[in-house]
Every structure is written in C-alpha cells, then in structure tokens.
Chains A and B, each alone.
Chain A
C-alpha cells in the first residue's frame, strides 16, 4: 500500500514537474511543422549562435580539464599545508550566482572596470566580445572536472604510481600508463557535466555578451532574443537542440556512472 502510493507520487510529481516542460519544448518547436522548425535552425543568426556555443565549449572544457588534472594530482597525491582551503576555493564558483559570475568580469575588463582604460587604449575588447563570453564560461564551469577527480584519486592513493616509478618509468610514462587509465571514467564524467554547463550557461554569459546578433550570441542568448521578439517557434527550435543535448548528457552520465560503479565493485572483489 505505502509502497505503491509513494511510487505513484514520485512518478506523478516528476512527470508533471520535469517531463511536461521537456515535452513542451519539443511540441512548441514543431507547432508550425518541420519546415518552420528547420527554418528556425538555418537562420544565419542561429547558425552563428551554434558556432559560438561550440567554440566557447571547445575552449572552456579543455582549459578546465587541464586544470582539473593538475589540481587533482597536487591535492590527491601530496600532503601540504592549506590543502582543505584550496579545495574550498576550487568549489567557490558553484556558490556564486551566474549573474555575479558575469559581473565580476565586467568590473575587471569593462569600460569602467579596473583594466578598462588600458584595454580601450590598446583596442582590446573583452567585454561585449567573445573573450568575455569564454572567460565567464570558464569561471562557471571551473570546479566540474577537479571535483570529480580529487575524491577518486585520493581514494586510489599513490602505490601504483610509486611501483611504476621504481620499475623505471619516467613521470610522463607513469601518468599515461598508470594514473590516466585509473581515472578515465571520473575524468569523462567531469567533462560531460562541464560541457553541458558550458553550452547551456545563460546568466553569466548574458552579462558579458552585449547581445550582438551574429557575433556575440550563444545559443541560450539567441533563444532569449527570439523569445522576446515573440518568434516562439524559432526560440523553441534552438531550445530543442539544447534539450537534446541535455538528454544525451543524462544518458552518457548514467552510462559512465554505471562503469564507475562496476570498476569499484571489481576492485573490491
């Protein structure tokens, strides 16, 4: 009795609360048929927004991946003073509102910002241009890879690496042959989450972008503009691409979680 009541509540709540909005995106996008749907996606402004989103993610994800590897190596394999403070600082961007994440870069590089005069004297544009969008995206996705890697590498310890070194491997060989295979699933997990956020970030990017159509609009910003122009079909068409990305992210995430779980079970046996 209790069991089926609770299962029903769960399914009803998640269905109404999560599935209905997801279905609404697809329905609204196709409201005027496939022709209108593809028109919305083929519009030059939409194409340029898709390109900018891909470019941003292509810079932000590798940047945070390299950082995640470096940070987790230093934190997980060595003991040093101030380590827990460092871990707290790495998580800091998650505690900052997206809008504030954009604002801080405006205060640094905007016209009235700390470096504003110097930048405008040298004709360098960061705010209301692509570099600002990339920087804000790197900021909001900063902790993703590191926070997946640190606990796992801490748990694994460093015996295998020490064995590799004593068998004559150099540092690079040890990293490539021992460390990387051990952490590859956690690494992938972090990258998947990092990429989803990088492509979908709205608040932070909205503050630094300047919303120049065809130049500084990412997909989420393009959706906002279309929506505010009452061009709902095109807005939902672009949104449907991001919704598909979200679903792919969830599927990949589940597969990787299952692999990590299996490896933990295998290492116990």
Chain B
C-alpha cells in the first residue's frame, strides 16, 4: 500500500502537517511528559506512593462510586432513552435537550448545586436526614455527583440503537404470547446490550477522572471521602510532583483499559452480529 493515494484535491500536505504539529505540541508531547517523569522515579518511590493506604482508600472510593453511578445510569438511562425514542408526550423536545445538562453545566457549578441540594438543610437532603441518610459529605454524595455527570453518556449511546430497533419484532414476540417482561429480557435487551455496555463504560470512565462536581459534595475526609483526582491536586500543592505523577499514571492506565475494553467489545459485537444482519 502506498503512503497516500493520489487525489486531485489540494492542501493535503499543509493540512496534515499542521494537524500533526498541533497534535504533537498540544497533546502528544505534554502527555508523554507524564511518562518521562514516571521514568525518573525509582520503583520503590512509585510503589510507595500508589500503595499508600490513603491512596488505596481513594481508589476504592473512586472505582466503587463510579461503578455504582454507572449502574444507576444504565438502568435509568435505558428508561429515559426508551421513553424519548418510543413515546410522544408534551415537552418531549425540552426533556431531550435537558439530558445534556450535565455536559453543558460546568463541573464546579454542578458541584456546588448538588451540595446545596443534598446538604442537611437542602431541598432533598432535609428529607433524607430524618431517615438517617447523610447524602452530602459522604461516599453517597460522591456517588450522586458521579451519577449526575455520567447520565448523558448512557442515554446518548442508547438512543440511536433504540431507533434502529424494529418495534415489529416486539409485536411479533407479543403476538406469540410473550409477556412484557419476557419480550424485554429475550428480545429487547440482547439487541441493546452492546450500546448499553458502551454507554456504561463511557459513563464509568468519565466518572473515574471526574474532579469538579465531586470535591464540593464529598467533604474530602482522608481515608473516607477523598477521590484519587483530589489526591493528585494535594500532592501538587505539597510540590510532590513525583507522587502526583505516580497516582496520575495509575488513573490514566485504568481509564485507557476501560476504553480499550469498549473498543474490543464493539469489535467483537460487530464481528458476531454485524455480518448476519
């Protein structure tokens, strides 16, 4: 194969050259500095930082809360996407646009807004408090924030998949005597599974790295409600660049593994279901 196929259009050299230079300067060189910095650490320095109990506690909270948030989003995201694709109701367009609010709202604004709502005297927090549920300044608060920012990923991945799903298949299942639940589990869910898993993984990966919407509602108590991204900031404030870098590498590898898993999954699904139609 030749490096470039012939074309009559102009501008290939300059646009590709510019793309490559800009990409290198803004993304590739800065990102590689992280790995260069890691290479200067000794193994015991690196391991000492990433296995520190306080850091390990932050992984547990970050991964656990992100996972639960992604699960909640998978369930409610499916209901929201289904409603938006299949049903007509007044105000549907506004509801559809509103789904992207967590994308559009700056994370710091989401953070203080969620804290105000779920605090002891907040609009929702005041009803949870008598039940003994402390929403703000607890792992639950972290989960709420991570669910909030992940919701659009699930809904927006599911919507096109739902639009491709033919309602006649459900009708056929129903006419053959299947109940709603049976139709859902046997017919709808398998067809939506790839999109649902992709949305779940995107929501999960986004939550792992999230910072702004969490730091206000979490309360940042050591060993209890500190997320990993916050520990990076704290190491930086102590001018401990090596420590910050070590935690960053762990987080970066974790999110790359998740995104790689998504790509493999899509490839597997395309191969298994794609050709048969």
Contacts and interface: CB of A to CB of B under 8 A. Distances in A.
Interface residues of A, number: 91
Interface in B175-222: 180, 205, 208-212, 216
Contacts, number: 271
A106 B241 contact: yes
B113 A206 contact: no
A22 interface: yes
A99 B211 contact: yes
A222 to B, nearest CB: 9
Contact of B209 (A99, A135, A207): A99
Contacts of B251: 97, 100
B107 A97 contact: no
A138 B147 CA distance: 26
A251 B93 CA distance: 10
Interface of B: 1-5, 7-12, 14-16, 18-19, 22-23, 26-31, 33-34, 36-37, 76, 79-80, 82-84, 86-87, 89, 93, 95-110, 112-114, 116-117, 122-124, 147-148, 151, 180, 205, 208-212, 216, 229, 232-233, 236, 239, 241, 244-245, 248, 251-252, 255-256, 259
B106 A242 contact: yes
Interface stretch (A11-19, A40-48, A117-125, A261-269): A11-19
A79 B26 CA distance: 24
**Among A6, A7, A174, A249, residue most surrounded by chain B Cβ atoms (within 10 Å):** A7
A99 B18 contact: no
A95 B255 contact: yes
A80 B16 contact: yes
Nearest to B77: A13
A89 B98 contact: no
Contact of B16 (A22, A74, A97, A110): A74
A100 B34 contact: yes
A14 B95 contact: yes
Contact of A254 (B15, B22, B80, B97): B97
Contacts of B27: 89, 92-93, 139, 142
Given A96-B255, A98-B107, A107-B33, 16 more contacts: A11-B95, A19-B98, A20-B123, A70-B15, A74-B19, A78-B5, A86-B19, A100-B232, A104-B31, A107-B30, A113-B33, A114-B36, A165-B8, A200-B109, A220-B107, A246-B109
A21 B110 contact: yes
A246 B229 contact: no
Contacts of B216: 227
A89 B248 CA distance: 19
A106 B9 contact: no
Nearest to B251: A97
A139 B239 CA distance: 23
B106 A73 contact: no
A108 interface: yes
A89 B23 contact: yes
A194 interface: no
Nearest to B19: A71
**Among A75, A81, A107, A113, residue most surrounded by chain B Cβ atoms (within 10 Å):** A107
A236 B112 contact: yes
Contacts of B105: 22, 200, 242-243, 246
B209 A239 contact: no
B80 A14 contact: yes
